[in-house]
Structures are given as structure tokens and as C-alpha cells.
């Protein structure tokens, strides 16, 4: 018998050595990965949550808000400890805002400012939330809420783009209030009165009557501008006379009419109370894309479930 190994035997031995080396390497990597998982499981969750979050965020950006909320909710349930869970909570609030559910979005943003404290990226989350809150308050016509958030942005992030954008609206508010104060000092009369019941129950239909005296508005097209926050509690069933158009912008709902050459002009808004709470009917006038602050703000209470 020869002591020299044949070519087949040498080949098998070589392959066996390679397989043993590969097996050892695979085993080593498996041990390392398992150890890393138990040491930092959130890293693995982050990777797994990234794809679903990107899909949900894309739904939000393309305004498919209901689906976005569903997907964000799944991410929070599946990956509660990942940063994508926090981002998903913000995404849900953003989607509610996009759907026109301003009151719910504002409530969510304010809660997130507290519940996300202690998160590693809280500073970035806070800036995002404050920027969204400023927009939501502006859209709702809640000047007091907007001013409070703008003060925080100015204190914490004076040079950020969201603060600069908010500053523009703040300056508009200041200019409008200064103009209204000046008009009051000069003894100018608005010539506009509003009648609205102080209280009603959910489901009840009420009438708000706006009377405009001759000379209070130049003859021709003009708009009644009612803050959007009021419409969170009331539904507009119709107006008499009918408005020529209705649109929402600048944090207000504009109902367009034509002021006659002579005589007072009266508009009756038929409203249905849809939600319990206190709602303020804040009325201004618009003509030629200029807002005239009237200083009229009537609080009404809606009771019931």
C-alpha cells in the first residue's frame, strides 16, 4: 500500500477544510449577531421598521391620510421601542391635520410634546411638533394658541425656517390688531352686528344673523370671514341669501356676497351644533383681499354628547 495520497483524496481533504472554515465563520457571525441583538435589540427593530415607516410616510405625503394612520398605528404596535414609533405618532397627528381634524391634531401635538420627552431625538421632534402646532393654530384661527407656540419657537429656534415662517403670520396679527386699535381710538363704528344664541345642544339648529349697515362695506363683492375653529363645532346648513362662493384660507372660512348700493345688508347663517364644547364666532370682513378686523367674537356653548 502506498503512503502517497491520490488526487481524489487530496481534493476531498481540501474541500473538507474549506467547509470547516466556512462553518466556523458562519457560526462566529451567528454568535456575534445574536449577542448584538440581545445587547441592542432596538438596532434590529429600527432596520425592520424603516421599510414600513417609509411606506406610511409616503401615504401621508401623497395625502392618503386614512391609510397612513392605519400603517403608522401598525408600526407603533410592532416596534414600540424604535425611533420610528415616535415618528409614526407625529405622522398620525400630521395626517389628522391633513384630514381637517384640526382640534384632534392640536391635542395630539400638545400631548406628544410631553410623552416624547426623554427620547434621544426629542429636540428634533420638539422642533417639528412646534412648527406643526403653529400651522395648526394659524389654520384654526386660534391667535392665542399661535402666539404661545410662536414664543417658544422664537426662544428655542430663532433661526429655523419654521420660526421665520411663523414670524410672518405673527407680524400680520400685530399689524391687524394695531389697525383695529387705531380705528377704535378714532371713534370709527364697524357698522356690523351679530346675533347668535349663547347656548344650544348637540343636534340643534340655530341661526346666526349678521347685519351690515350702509357704508360699512363698499358696494360690490365682499366676504364674511369666520374663524375655522368655530366650524369644528358647527356645520353650515345654508345661508340666506345664498353665498356666491365659500372657501377656507388664512385660518378663516370666507362666505362671499355682494353689498348693495343702498340699504343695510343682512345674512342669516343656518347652523347645526355637532360637537359639545365652547366655540367662538370670530367675525371679520374681507374686500379686495384685505381683512378688516371687526373685534367681534361671540362665545357660544354647546351641551350634550
Per-residue DSSP letters for 55-94? Answer: HHHHHHHTT-HHHHHHHHHHHHHH-TTSHHHHHHHHHHHH
Q: Is residue 226 one of the residues assigned to a domain?
A: yes
Residues 117, 224 within the same domain: no
Above pLDDT 90, what percent of the chain? 44
CATH number at residue 250: 2.60.120.570
Residues 96, 165 within the same domain: yes
The answer to whether 223 and 254 have CB atoms below 8 angstroms apart is yes
Of 21 and 243, the structure prediction assigns the larger pLDDT to: 243
Residues 99, 206 within the same domain: no
Rounded CA-CA distance 194/208 in Å is: 7
- How would residue 304 be classed by pLDDT, with cut points 50, 70 and 90? confident
Residues 169, 65 within the same domain: yes
Mean pLDDT estimate for the chain: 82
What's the CA angle centered on 160, arms 159 and 163, to 5 degrees? 90
For the chain, the distance separating the N- and C-terminal CA atoms, rounded to the nearest angstrom, is: 100
Residues 58, 172 within the same domain: yes
pTM reported for the whole predicted model: 0.59
Task: Assess whether pLDDT exceeds 90 at residue 208.
Answer: yes
Residues 140, 235 within the same domain: no
Residues 154, 274 within the same domain: no
Give pLDDT, residue 18: 56
CA atoms within 13 A on the CB side of 42: 7
Counting the structural domains of the chain, the total is 2
Strand order from edge to edge, sheet including 205-212: 192-195, 205-212, 265-273, 234-240
Task: Assess whether pLDDT exceeds 60 at residue 238.
Answer: yes
The answer to whether 297 and 258 have CB atoms below 8 angstroms apart is no
Rounded CA-CA distance 171/157 in Å is: 17
| 16-71 tens-digit pLDDT | 555 565 555 545 554 545 444 444 454 454 468 899 999 999 999 999 999 999 99
Q: Is residue 90 one of the residues assigned to a domain?
A: yes
Q: Is residue 64 one of the residues assigned to a domain?
A: yes
Give pLDDT, residue 64: 95
Rounded CA-CA distance 171/229 in Å is: 21
Give pLDDT, residue 224: 93
Task: Assess whether pLDDT exceeds 50 at residue 188.
Answer: no
Rounded CA-CA distance 138/146 in Å is: 6
| 138-186 tens-digit pLDDT | 887 788 889 999 999 999 999 999 999 999 888 877 876 676 666 555 4
Give pLDDT, residue 31: 53
18-32, 65-79, 89-103, 219-233: range with lowest mean pLDDT: 18-32
Q: Which residue range(s) make up the domain with 75?
A: 41-177
Average pLDDT over residues 215-243: 90
Q: Is residue 35 one of the residues assigned to a domain?
A: no
- Can you give the C-alpha Rg of the chain in angstroms? 31
Q: Is residue 33 one of the residues assigned to a domain?
A: no
Task: Assess whether pLDDT exceeds 50 at residue 4.
Answer: no
Task: Assess whether pLDDT exceeds 90 at residue 266.
Answer: yes
Of 134 and 141, the structure prediction assigns the larger pLDDT to: 134
Q: Domain boundary at 177, 202, 237, which? A: 177
Q: Domain boundary at 177, 203, 230, which? A: 177
Residues 235, 159 within the same domain: no
Q: How far is CA 66 from CA 70, 72, 98, 117, 191, in A?
A: 7, 10, 10, 27, 45
Q: Is residue 124 one of the residues assigned to a domain?
A: yes
Residues 163, 291 within the same domain: no
Q: How far is CA 59 from CA 16, 55, 62, 217, 248, in A?
A: 52, 6, 5, 45, 24
Rounded CA-CA distance 10/6 in Å is: 6
Task: Assess whether pLDDT exceeds 80 at residue 235.
Answer: yes
Q: Is residue 141 one of the residues assigned to a domain?
A: yes
CATH number at residue 106: 1.25.40.10
Residues 103, 197 within the same domain: no
The answer to whether 157 and 261 have CB atoms below 8 angstroms apart is no
Q: Domain boundary at 177, 204, 222, which? A: 177
Residues counted in the chain: 305
Residues 52, 138 within the same domain: yes
Residues 168, 56 within the same domain: yes
Rounded CA-CA distance 243/246 in Å is: 7
The answer to whether 234 and 203 have CB atoms below 8 angstroms apart is no
193: β partners: 211
Amino acid at each position: 500500500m502506498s503512503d502517497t495520497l491520490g488526487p481524489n483524496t487530496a481534493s476531498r481533504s481540501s474541500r473538507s477544510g474549506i467547509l470547516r472554515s466556512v462553518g466556523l465563520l458562519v457560526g462566529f457571525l451567528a454568535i456575534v449577531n445574536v449577542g448584538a441583538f440581545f445587547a441592542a435589540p432596538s438596532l434590529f427593530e429600527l432596520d425592520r421598521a424603516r421599510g414600513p415607516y417609509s411606506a406610511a410616510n409616503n401615504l401621508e405625503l401623497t395625502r392618503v391620510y386614512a391609510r397612513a394612520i392605519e400603517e403608522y398605528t401598525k408600526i407603533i404596535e410592532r416596534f414600540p421601542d424604535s425611533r420610528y414609533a415616535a415618528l409614526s405618532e407625529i405622522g398620525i397627528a400630521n395626517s389628522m391635520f391633513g384630514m381637517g381634524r384640526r382640534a384632534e391634531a392640536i391635542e395630539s401635538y400638545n400631548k406628544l410634546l410631553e410623552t416624547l420627552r426623554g427620547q434621544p431625538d426629542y429636540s428634533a421632534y420638539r422642533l417639528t411638533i412646534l412648527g406643526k402646532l403653529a400651522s395648526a393654530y394659524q389654520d384654526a384661527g386660534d391667535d392665542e394658541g399661535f402666539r404661545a407656540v410662536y414664543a417658544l419657537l422664537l426662544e428655542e429656534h430663532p433661526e429655523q425656517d419654521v420660526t421665520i415662517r411663523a414670524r410672518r403670520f405673527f407680524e400680520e396679527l400685530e399689524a391687524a390688531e394695531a389697525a383695529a386699535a387705531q380705528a377704535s381710538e378714532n371713534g370709527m363704528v364697524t357698522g356690523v352686528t351679530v346675533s347668535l344664541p349663547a347656548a344650544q345642544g348637540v343636534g340643534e339648529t340655530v341661526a346666526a344673523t349678521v347685519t351690515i349697515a350702509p357704508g360699512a362695506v363698499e358696494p360690490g363683492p365682499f366676504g364674511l370671514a369666520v374663524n375655522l375653529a368655530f366650524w369644528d363645532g358647527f356645520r353650515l346648513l345654508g345661508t340666506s341669501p345664498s353665498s356666491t362662493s365659500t372657501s377656507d384660507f388664512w385660518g378663516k372660512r370666507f362666505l362671499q356676497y355682494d353689498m348693495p348700493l343702498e340699504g343695510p345688508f343682512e345674512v342669516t347663517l343656518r347652523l347645526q351644533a355637532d360637537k359639545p364644547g365652547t366655540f367662538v364666532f370670530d367675525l371679520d370682513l374681507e374686500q379686495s383681499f384685505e381683512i378688516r378686523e371687526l373685534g367681534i367674537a361671540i362665545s357660544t356653548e354647546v351641551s350634550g354628547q
